[in-house]
C-alpha cells in the first residue's frame, strides 16, 4: 500500500495569498515597500529563510529578523481564521484516501502554530496519521528533509510515497526524497516549465482520482 503526503499551504488551504498579505504588512513596518509578486520565488520556503533573504538584501535595523518572522506568522494566523478557505477537493480526497486505508501524512514548511490554525479552521486534523513541520529540520524545502522525516515517522519507504505539492520548491524537495509528486500549482506558478519534473500536474485536487495512485508508480 502506497502512502500519501500532503503539503499544506496552497494544497489544503488557500493560504498563499494570506502569506503575501502578512509579508507585505510586516515588511512595511521595517521600511520595505513590497508587492505580492515579490514573494513568488520564495513560495514553499520556511518563513525564517524568506525573512533572512530580505534582511540580507535590505539590512533593516529597527527590528530583529526573529521579530519580523514572528510578526508575519501572527498576521497569517489572523488571516487564516478570518478568511482561510479549503482548496477544492480537499475533504473529498482525504475521505476517499482514508476509506481505502492509505496512510496519510502532512509535511509543510509552515510552523506548528500555523499548522494548528489551519487544521482547526478546516476541521481536517483527524485525517492525518503524521503531521510534521520543517520548523524541526535543519534545512527547509527544497531540501528533502521534511518529506524524509515524515516518511520515517509513517514507517514507510521514501519510494512508496506520493506527494501533493503546489510550489516548485516543494516539488524539488519531494523528488529529491525519491518520491512521486503530483503538482497542483497556484496560478502564479502554473505556467512554470520547471514543474515538468512532477509526475503529474493538475489544476485542482478535485481532478485527482484516488484509483489512479498505483498507476503513478509503474
| DSSP letter assigned to residue 12 | T
To the query of whether residue 88 is one of the catalytic residues in this protein, the response is no
DSSP string across 105-137: EEEESS-HHHHHHHHHHHT-GGG-SEEEEGGGS
Q: Out of 10-19, 35-44, 80-89, pick the least confident.
A: 35-44
Cα distance between residue 139 and residue 184, in whole Å: 23
Alpha helices in 123-208 (DSSP H): 145-154, 168-176
pLDDT at site 79: 98
Looking at the predicted structure, is the pLDDT value of residue 37 above 90? no
Q: Are 72 and 98 in contact (CB under 8 A)?
A: no
- Assess whether 70 carries a catalytic annotation: no
> 527547509: which residue's cell?
140
What confidence tier does 42 reach under pLDDT thresholds 50, 70, 90?
A: confident
How do residues 139-196 score in pLDDT, each as one tens digit? 999 999 999 999 999 999 999 999 999 999 999 999 999 999 999 997 655 568 899 9
Q: Distance (Å, rounded) from C-alpha 8 to C-alpha 6?
A: 6
- Is residue 105 within 8 Å of residue 150, measured between CB atoms? yes
Cα separation, 104 vs 111, in Å, equals: 19
pLDDT for the residue numbered 189: 54
More confident residue, 171 or 58: 171
What does the pLDDT read at residue 34?
83
Please state, as a whole number, how many other Cβ atoms lie within 10 Å of the Cβ of residue 121: 18
As annotated, the residues of the chain forming the CATH 3.40.50.1000 domain(s) are: 3-14+85-217
Report the CATH architecture of 16-83: Orthogonal Bundle (1.10)
Tracing cell 500532503 back to the chain, one arrives at 6
> Of residues 7, 48, 71, 166, which has the active-site annotation?
7
- Residue 139 pLDDT: 93
pLDDT of 192 reads 82
- Which residues pair with residue 182 across a beta bridge? 164, 200
C-alpha to C-alpha distance for 145 and 165, rounded to whole angstroms: 15
**Residue among 129, 154, 137, 121 nearest 13 (CA):** 121
- Angle among Cα 102, 214, 90 to the nearest 5 degrees reads 50
Residues of the chain with CATH 1.10.150.240: 16-83
DSSP annotation of 5 reads: E
Tens digits of per-residue pLDDT, 94-143? 999 999 999 999 999 999 999 999 999 999 999 999 999 999 999 999 99
Catalytic residue among 9, 48, 71, 166: 9
Predicted model pTM: 0.90
pLDDT reported for residue 58 = 87
Write down the mean pLDDT value for the chain.
93
Question: What is the C-alpha separation between 144 and 137, in angstroms, rounded?
Answer: 10
Homologous superfamily, domain 3-14+85-217 = HAD superfamily/HAD-like (3.40.50.1000)
Amino acid at each position: 500500500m502506497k502512502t500519501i503526503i500532503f503539503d499544506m499551504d496552497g494544497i489544503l488551504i488557500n493560504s498563499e495569498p494570506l502569506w503575501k498579505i502578512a509579508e507585505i504588512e510586516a515588511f512595511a513596518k521595517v521600511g520595505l515597500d513590497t508587492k505580492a509578486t515579490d514573494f513568488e520565488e520564495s513560495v514553499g520556503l520556511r518563513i525564517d529563510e524568506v525573512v533572512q533573504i530580505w534582511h540580507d538584501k535590505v539590512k533593516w535595523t529597527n527590528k530583529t529578523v526573529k521579530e519580523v518572522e514572528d510578526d508575519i506568522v501572527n498576521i497569517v494566523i489572523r488571516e487564516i481564521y478570518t478568511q482561510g478557505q479549503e482548496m477544492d477537493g480537499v475533504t473529498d480526497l482525504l475521505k476517499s484516501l482514508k476509506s481505502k486505508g492509505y496512510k496519510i501524512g502532512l509535511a509543510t514548511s509552515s510552523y506548528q502554530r500555523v499548522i494548528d490554525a489551519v487544521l482547526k479552521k478546516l476541521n481536517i486534523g483527524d485525517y492525518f496519521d503524521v503531521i510534521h513541520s520543517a520548523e524541526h529540520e535543519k534545512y527547509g524545502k527544497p531540501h528533502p528533509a521534511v518529506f524524509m522525516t515524515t516518511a520515517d515517522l509513517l514507517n514507510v519507504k521514501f519510494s512508496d510515497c506520493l506527494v501533493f505539492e503546489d510550489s516548485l520548491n516543494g516539488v524539488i524537495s519531494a523528488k529529491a526524497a525519491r518520491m512521486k509528486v503530483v503538482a497542483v500549482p497556484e496560478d502564479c506558478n502554473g505556467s512554470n516549465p520547471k514543474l515538468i519534473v512532477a509526475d503529474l500536474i493538475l489544476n485542482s485536487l478535485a481532478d485527482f482520482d484516488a484509483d489512479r495512485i498505483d498507476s503513478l508508480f509503474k
